[in-house]
Amino acid sequence: MNTRFKSDNAPPVLSVSQLNRQAKSLLDSHFDFVWVEGEISNFAAPSSGHWYFSLKDTSAQVRCAMFKNRNQRVKFTPSNGDAIRLRCRVSLYEGRGEFQIIAEHLEHAGAGPLQAAFEQLKDKLLAEGLFESARKQPLPASIAHLGVVTSPTGAAIHDILTILKRRCPTIDVQLLPVPVQGEGAAALIAGAIDRANRWRKEGKIQLDALIIGRGGGSLEDRWAFNEEIVARAIAASELPIVSAVGHEVDFSIADMAADRRAATPSAAAELLSPDQHEWAQRLQITEGNLVRAIQRRLAAVTTHLAHLNQRLKHPGAQIRERAQRLDDLEQRLLLAQKHVSRRHLATLALLENRLMAKSPVTRLEQLQRETLLRRNQLEAAMRQRLQDYANKLTHRAQMLDSLSPLGTLQRGYAIVTDSSGAVVRETGSVLIGDEIEARVANGRLGLTVKRID
């Protein structure tokens, strides 16, 4: 029996779980949040929604985990080879005793996270063809009802209304109020675009086009217009859309997806509205051109009318001339009719003579006589042939009767057969005592062989 003795001065013995737990506690308490930069490899995103990957540099690597409640805030999905920067906690995975870091925040190295998310979404939608010019709709030539998707309290709606009032106050503006920044703003903007299209389909409000946008601000402030849901709502819209987000130097995903991009909300209003003063000037020019064209036309018609008046004859003279012409044509018509009638009668007589010469009556009578002759000849030949066949049949019946064994039997002869029915032709084919049968002219005799000579 083996017994282990433990000395009072010996160090305590730890289990693996205890060792890993103490190491984890030491790491968690020693390190505060740190920033780590490196390249992603072995990236995995299982169905749980958590991210697992390795972060490496030229000489080392470390395991990383970023849980679902944290990676949902990241605006892009990382991939192997990405250079990233992490804000993380240093820890240890007790189950395998692996040193690891727990990421709380992730961004592209060398660029802000929003800019990285912008570039990633832009590349994705560009590859899908969402920004193709062939997909974009032309703006209507004139607009009576304009929809505006923006904040009801922002500078954008004020600028748009000011421009429209100055340039074309007859345009009716329908505001679809939405928040233009903050959590959930993108979904509300996309919903407003869908609602405007639905109104048009249902005939509630016949909008001609939409302006979506907001005033200036930081990239984060303008981020709602860089969300995928807004870009897809714009692409699916049947209403033409002008995007006006921020200032002239600002550029958004919504600008790329829209049918037209305006540098500012004011520029969008100018793009969709005619200038009433310019229209008035054009109307005056058009009116002058029209008056001059009418005057020229009237002068030309007056000259033409005077020319026709000089050429115009008295109706009586024209009637007499037409009557004489009619009489002349009538005489020519009668002569032509008589000539045609005579020519047709001569042609008809010629054709009649030709027809009588080729009448089938004579030929038909000849064929009838020939048919009767052939019929009589055929009947005589058939009677002769039948008589010949009858004579041949009688002769052959007499020959057959002379050769028939029945005639031989009538002369007193008999046909002898053994018990199997075979004809007995010689004495060697039967034995004494055999049963045999003799056929005579009027029946059969059963016999027994008594003697063989």
Q: Which of 160, 354, 192, 335 is nearest to 265 (CA)?
A: 160
Ramachandran category for residue 397: left, alpha or beta (phi over 0 → left; psi -120 to 50 → alpha)? alpha
Q: Which of 73, 78, 70 is nearest to 43 (CA)?
A: 78
pLDDT of residue 8: 58
**Residues 244 and 150 reside in one and the same domain:** yes
Residue found by looking up tokens 């600028």 in the block? 159
Query: Residue 313 is which amino acid?
Result: K
Output helix, strand, coil percentages for the chain, rounded to the nearest 5: 50, 20, 30
pLDDT truncated to tens, each residue of the chain (453 aa)?
444 445 556 678 767 677 767 777 776 666 678 888 888 989 999 998 999 999 988 788 889 999 999 888 887 788 888 888 888 888 887 777 788 888 998 877 755 667 778 888 888 999 999 999 899 999 998 889 999 999 999 889 999 999 999 888 889 999 999 999 988 999 999 999 999 999 999 988 889 999 999 988 767 788 899 999 999 999 999 999 999 998 776 788 999 999 999 989 999 998 888 877 777 777 888 888 898 899 898 888 888 888 877 776 667 667 777 777 887 888 888 888 888 888 888 888 888 888 777 777 777 888 888 999 999 999 999 999 999 999 999 888 888 877 777 667 777 778 888 888 888 888 888 888 888 888 887 888 888 888 887
95 assigned to some structural domain: yes
**Residues 125 and 273 reside in one and the same domain:** yes
Helix intervals (H) in 212-314: 228-236, 253-257, 265-272, 276-311
CA atoms within 13 A on the CB side of 336: 6
pTM of the model: 0.45
How many domains is the chain built from? 3
Task: Give every CB contact of residue 205 below 8 A, 6+ residues apart in sequence.
Answer: 145, 147, 174, 196, 199
Q: Which of 107, 89, 91 is nearest to 99 (CA)?
A: 91
Residue found by looking up tokens 């807004």 in the block? 230
Task: Give every CB contact of residue 211 below 8 A, 6+ residues apart in sequence.
Answer: 146, 147, 148, 149, 150, 160, 241, 242, 244, 262, 265, 268, 269, 272
**Residues 221 and 138 reside in one and the same domain:** yes
- Structural contact between residues 200 and 176, judged by C-beta atoms closer than 8 angstroms: no
**Residues 100 and 242 reside in one and the same domain:** no
**Residues 89 and 161 reside in one and the same domain:** no
Among candidate residues 110, 144, 172, the one where a domain is terminated: 110
pLDDT of residue 222: 85
387 assigned to some structural domain: no
**Residues 104 and 144 reside in one and the same domain:** no
**Residues 147 and 223 reside in one and the same domain:** yes
Nearest-angstrom CA–CA distance, 386 and 28: 134
**Residues 234 and 214 reside in one and the same domain:** yes
332 assigned to some structural domain: no
Task: Give the domain range for residue 247.
Answer: 120-277
Three-state secondary structure call for residue 369 = helix
Q: CA 330: distance to chain centroid?
A: 70
DSSP labels for 193-220?
HHHHHHHHHHTS----EEEEEE----TT
Among candidate residues 70, 89, 110, the one where a domain is terminated: 110
Longest dimension (CA), the chain: 159
Residue 167 DSSP one-character state: H
Among candidate residues 62, 87, 110, the one where a domain is terminated: 110
**Residues 138 and 264 reside in one and the same domain:** yes
**Residues 54 and 150 reside in one and the same domain:** no
Dihedral in degrees, nearest 10, Cα atoms 102, 104, 107, 110: -80
Beta bridge partners of 287: none
Question: Computed from CA positions of residues 266, 268, 270, 274, in that sequence, does the dihedral angle turn out positive or negative?
Answer: negative
pLDDT of residue 10: 65
What CATH code is carried by the domain that includes residue 185?
Answer: 3.40.50.261
**Residues 125 and 224 reside in one and the same domain:** yes
- Structural contact between residues 164 and 269, judged by C-beta atoms closer than 8 angstroms: yes
Three-state secondary structure call for residue 311 = helix
Residue 59 DSSP one-character state: S
In our burial notation (b when 16+ CB lie closer than 10 A, e otherwise), range 9-38 reads eeeeeeeeeeebeeebeebeeeeeeeebeb
